[in-house]
Structure 1
Amino acid sequence: MTSPPPTAAPTTAERIRSACVRAGGAMIAAEGLEPTPTPVHHLLGDGSFAITVPADGAVASAVLSAGAAGVQAVLEMTDYAPLPLREPVRSLVWIQGRLRGIPLCEVAALLDLIASSEPNPALLQVISNPRQPVDEGRQLLMCLEIESVVVADATGAESVPLGALLDADPDPFCAMESCWLQHLESAHREVVERLAARLPAPLRRGRVRPLGLDRYGVCLRVEGDDGDHDVRLPFARPVSDVAGLSQAIRVLMGCPFLNGMRARRA
């Protein structure tokens, strides 16, 4: 019996979890109000999102006025490419649900829970004590109870069940991906060129840029006269650490010294 082919790409749920970690442009849009930035957007184990909104803003006012009923809202997360590309958006994630306030007596414990896995500096701006002044820059922690999750990218749009999202994990390299790809582009163009040599001949005439990197492979963006083309180069098998990632990239490059060893002199 032959072995099944290696997984070539992250699942949609895995891609969403990774986007949650690195999303640089998250907005919350409550019904009837202008969208507002939310610097904290953390998926909790119960299937809801903890988010923050400006304490003196319209969204906070609407949610607090609604009481236990909350308001209908959509969280939009934008996953940007780490390089200045012609089309910088890699994917958009829309999470629709009901936005409710969190009692201040529960905020401190929830902040500790979030910080234990995501030490976001924006957490320091959250009001966790009723005596704290509600001045400019302060944030309120709220809960978005998920009703639907949709992700859209160059291949189209897809709905993801909440259970699949909870079962998935972020890619182990997603927090470091931007720095690595920027370094690859600026200091190791020869690696990009070796990877580009694996592309179909018509695509090699465009400008090849590193677009994505995960445990399953490398994605390249080809900016050509006929538009943009994204091509994934899968690893032979998924990797889980930096050593495995380095070796997998060497294999894609066709490097004969997979462990970085030099040829022995005669």
Structure 2
Amino acid sequence: MTLATTPGPTTAERIRSACMRAQSALIALDGAEPETVGVHHLLADGSFAVAVPINGVAAGNVVAAGAGGVQAVLELTDYAPLPLREPVRSLVWIRGRMFSVPEAMMRATLDVVAAEDPNPALLQVGTEYALLRLEIDSVVVADATGAESVALGALLEARPDPFCAMETCWLRHIDSDHRDIVDRLAAKLPRPLRGGQVRPLGLDRYGVRLRVEGDDGDHDVRLPFTRPVDDVTGLSQAIRILMGCPFVNGLRARRTT
């Protein structure tokens, strides 16, 4: 169960964040087994730079196809930061046509990707990986709320959540060392859900998500902040307000006197 009416990121924002966080990515061509992708990065022109095994089927088929390219699907898996019964938070499927990156554009493309995502696998392009480009036809995300597509223009205009890089460490930290925070957030859940095991599921500028693992299944609930936040100071204050921390109210009161 997800409370879909609460404020949260747009579909495009969710996909951009998932693209940045996803540690598991596969490329699939018709009639071939999926292959693991070393690098996946959305470029400003609306295509994906994808590093695939240099001796794999995808690289071989794309080279053989020449200027015509080949149809392919890039699948990104966004896993929950904590070990849960159902660890996958969302799946993103990017369908399109894949081409080789011309040798004359190789260094410039690698520099662009490295500037935003200094993935060590980029150093293996040319030896372990071949760099390809996936021109996007469609993008679909599926999670607990269902499946939804997003237009390429909206995807390019959206930005990843400002906290997606720190989300995993932060949620693991509060789950292992600050269960009091989880317990206070759990007290905000609808009463029928308070009997299950509550674990942190997600964090973004709009609020906190909790996973309740109960006897009747899993339930995801978003606890929204009073307003979106953009920095760590705002995030810390928003969480304290969400918890009902009396210190925040007291601090505000002293500042206004």
Normalising by structure 1, we get a TM-score of 0.91
2:33 partner SS = coil
Q: Which amino acid aligns with 2:231?
A: D
Structure with the higher fraction of residues in helix conformation = 2
Q: Which amino acid aligns with 1:112?
A: D
Q: Which amino acid aligns with 2:119?
A: N
Structure 1, residues 8-58: CA drift from partner, whole Å, max 9, x if none?
Answer: 100000000000111011100012211001121111111100001011111
Q: Do residues 83 (structure 1) and 82 (structure 2) align?
A: yes
Contact 1:31 1:71 in 2 (8 A): no
Q: Which amino acid aligns with 2:17?
A: S
Structure 1, residues 121-170: CA drift from partner, whole Å, max 9, x if none?
Answer: 1111112xxxxxx4xxx101100000001110111111110011000000
Q: Which amino acid aligns with 1:169?
A: R
Q: 1:199 aligns with which of 178, 185, 189?
A: 189
CA separation in 2, counterparts of 1:165 and 1:102?
22
Deviation at 1:179, TM superposition (A): 0.6
CA separation in 2, counterparts of 1:230 and 1:101?
41
Structure 1, residues 194-230: CA drift from partner, whole Å, max 9, x if none?
Answer: 0000001110000000000000000000000000000
Contact 1:247 1:259 in 2 (8 A): no
Q: Which stretch shifts more, 102-111 or 195-204?
A: 102-111
Normalising by structure 2, we get a TM-score of 0.94
Contact 1:18 1:174 in 2 (8 A): yes
Q: Do residues 229 (structure 1) and 219 (structure 2) align?
A: yes
1:51 partner SS = strand
Equivalent position of 2:92 in the other structure: 93
Q: Which amino acid aligns with 1:215?
A: R
Moved over 4 A (4+): none
Contact 2:38 2:129 in 1 (8 A): no
Q: Percent identity?
A: 71
Residues 47 and 254 (structure 1), Cα distance of their counterparts in 2 relative to 1, 3 Å cut: same
Equivalent position of 1:31 in the other structure: 30
CA separation in 1, counterparts of 2:248 and 2:10?
28
Deviation at 1:105, TM superposition (A): 2.2
Equivalent position of 1:219 in the other structure: 209
CA separation in 1, counterparts of 2:250 and 2:238?
12
Q: Do residues 109 (structure 1) and 108 (structure 2) align?
A: yes
Contact 1:97 1:146 in 2 (8 A): yes
Note the aligned Cα RMSD (angstroms).
1.8
Deviation at 1:7, TM superposition (A): 7.5
CA separation in 1, counterparts of 2:235 and 2:95?
35
CA separation in 2, counterparts of 1:25 and 1:248?
31
Spell out the pairing of 1:1-266 with structure 2 (5 A cutoff): 8-127=7-126, 134=127, 138-258=128-248
Structure 1, residues 174-194: CA drift from partner, whole Å, max 9, x if none?
Answer: 011011100010000000000
Q: Which amino acid aligns with 1:78?
A: T
Between Structure 1 and Structure 2, how many residues are aligned?
Answer: 250
Contiguous gaps of at least 5 residues in structure 1: 1-5, 128-133
Contact 1:148 1:162 in 2 (8 A): yes
2:91 partner SS = strand
Residues 259 and 100 (structure 1), Cα distance of their counterparts in 2 relative to 1, 3 Å cut: farther
CA separation in 2, counterparts of 1:76 and 1:124?
23
Deviation at 1:119, TM superposition (A): 1.1
